Chains A and B, each alone.
Chain A
Amino acid sequence: MRTVTRLYLSNDTSARAAGAGVLADAWSEHPEVQLIRISSRGAFYLEPMVERDSPAGRVAWFNVTAQDLPLILSGTDGTPVRSIPFLAQQTRVTFANFGETEPLALDEYQARGGLSGLETALRIGPDAIIEELQVSQLRGRGGAAFPVWNKWKVAQQARADQKYVVANADEGDAGTYCDRMILEGDPFRLLEGMLICARAIGAGRGYVYCRQEYPGAAKTLRAAIQKADEAELLELDGEPFPIEVVEGAGSYVCGEETALLESLEGKRGVVRARPPYPAQSGLYGSPTIVSNVLTFATIPNILSRGGAWHAALGTERSRGTMALQLGGRVKHPGLVEVPFGLSLHQILEQFGGGMAPGSRFKAVQVGGPLGSLFPASQMDIPVCYDVFAKAGAVLGHGGIVVYDHETDMVDLARHFMAFTADESCGKCTPCRIGSVRGREILERIQAGSGTIEDLALLHDLGDTMKVASLCALGGRAPYPVLTAIEHFPAEFRAKLRT
């Protein structure tokens, strides 16, 4: 009789983009292989990564090609997964299942502690849920970092016939991908977080607003919703709690919570003036909790392990773990879940493995396309909300992009402003006009016809956009540009007309 070996291969979009799909096709008919498609561990620099069971846990092969199959089947040259430093040094809590389970296997999710947070929530009731979140000191992970319990309390106390729970899966910040990983890799965790929220505030309907750029995520999530429905999980107090996936249409600003709600209503994704906040008056004017996917996915563990457990991780004002996403010219791009408080330097060296071959460090950008740039001299800054805020920077959604010596800072600054000009919703003047003027000035400098006054003008323009814009798009857009000028002034001056 022929022996069949069970091999694990990620079905994550980035793993497939790195070649996992090609492997699956090549091995699909192979009689000796039973291929299990799991989520990705997030060590993307090793993908496609193939694993098999051993008495001492999983053993892995890295950057596998189809020709490596005999080697894997004979069991030679594999590396024990638990000895991979990139993974072993992390504190995997929200991402504990990644690389272990099949995303749509509800029984596996449950066997690894899934749904126990929801069970607790159903038992203790709304007030106690919110209290637990208050103890946990969880702050929203989408960018605004608002205390989650506070928002829930407002929605809970609002009187209304209908309330909504909306998961923001419009992960538009370039350099971020942890929400995509959750949607594709551990979708029941998101649903569980949404159900806990619905229970706390008394909501009757849920939506996941998923960006159009994530077709794989939307598909997996829809399948997960169907499975949850079949398992009769989508009900609260005997009433159905339907969750619907709605896809966006390519607008970055729809990741802003009020623009998202407008888009969910089928309108132009234009920002609403706040207050009222969505927790008071959100979707169709009803109290609505809008939170990012990672925030919802963090909540089940808080309910099952207790708020105090969560509060014991991290720093004074940034509790818990953060999913950092490394990209750009770093040697080991991938997902890093660690407690808040490590320095940028530690993260890039210990996890990022330093620079990609042939690259020398120039700057790192934290927090997406609206995040500030940090030069080599500022790498000691600890990654947490308060210190970043003091430095005028943001953690945003945890994206960390490393630029190397080949990066032209003037062109990069132009790239940032052009992005805002493209994506501005147009409602407020500072953002709509300011971003276009900013782009024009930077194009002028790039073309060699800018003057020293243009740099002063950029500062003035930036100050206006920071204070007068309606939302974070216009309000944050000047930061990457102005930090580029601040840290690399010579590059800008060298291009000015004399």
Chain B
Amino acid sequence: MREQVKSVLARVRSKPPNILKALLALQERLGHVPTEAVSEIASALGVTTAQVAGVLSYYPDVRLTAPGRHLIRVCMGESCYANGCGRLLRELQDRLRVDVGETAAGGKFTLDTMSCAGNCAVSPTVMIDRDLYGRLLPSQLDTLLERYK
């Protein structure tokens, strides 16, 4: 993993250094940003470990642990709220037997929420990896989840 970290960091070096870009590039490669890599990132970018740790802890989408093979995000925006996203979330929690932020047994799905997917006109919305599903009914969840291996 150290080699991977090194090669990614070599690619995103810039002046002035951009910590968030470096973290997102690492996440793109590794699926998450390992906390063990903080000091290495700091020295590669020429910033302090506190600066790196600060950025790392700030952004909801920079992950400290690897998610499951598929990331399910239930949109909690107001249009989705009005259209019953709360029920969708509860159904998913029950089906996957996880709470928000957790990965289901077997490592297939990680369940999370998002504040708005910009899909308000066909809400409620669930985003799986990079794909959006709209006008979702709880009864459609089983068929939807089956599509993911």
Interface residues of A (CB under 8 A from B): 13-14, 16-18, 42, 44-45, 47, 171-177, 179-180, 212-216, 246-252, 263, 265-270, 284, 325-329, 333-335, 365, 368-369, 399, 401-404, 407, 412, 415, 419, 422-423
Contacts and interface: CB of A to CB of B under 8 A. Distances in A.
Interface in B10-53: 16-24, 51
Contacts of A213: 114, 116-118, 127
Nearest to A214: B118
B81 A177 contact: no
B115 A172 contact: yes
Interface residues of B, number: 42
Nearest to B130: A215
A268 B120 contact: no
B17, B55, B121 interface centre (most CB from chain A within 10 Å): B121
B70 interface: no
B58 interface: yes
Nearest to B21: A266
Contact of B24 (A247, A329, A402): A247
Contacts of A252: 115
> Interface of chain A, helix or strand or loop or mixed?
mixed
Contacts of A171: 118
B101 interface: no
Contacts, number: 147
A265 to B, nearest CB: 7
Contacts of A265: 16, 18
B123 interface: yes
B78 interface: yes
A251 B18 CA distance: 17
A267 B52 CA distance: 9
Contacts of B60: 249-251
Contacts of A175: 77-79, 116, 120
A214 B61 CA distance: 13
B116 A333 contact: no
Contact of B133 (A17, A176, A250, A399): A17
Nearest to B61: A250
B112 to A, nearest CB: 10
Nearest to A249: B59
Given A325-B120, A328-B123, 19 more contacts: A13-B132, A14-B134, A47-B122, A173-B116, A174-B79, A174-B116, A175-B77, A175-B78, A177-B121, A212-B61, A266-B55, A267-B51, A267-B54, A284-B16, A328-B82, A333-B123, A369-B77, A399-B78, A422-B115
A263 B55 CA distance: 9
B78 A401 contact: yes
A327 B78 contact: yes
B114 A250 contact: yes
A17, A333, A401, A415 interface centre (most CB from chain B within 10 Å): A17
B16, B51, B58 interface centre (most CB from chain A within 10 Å): B58
Contact of A415 (B17, B81, B130): B81
B93 interface: no
Given A17-B132, A17-B133, A327-B82, A333 B120 contact: yes
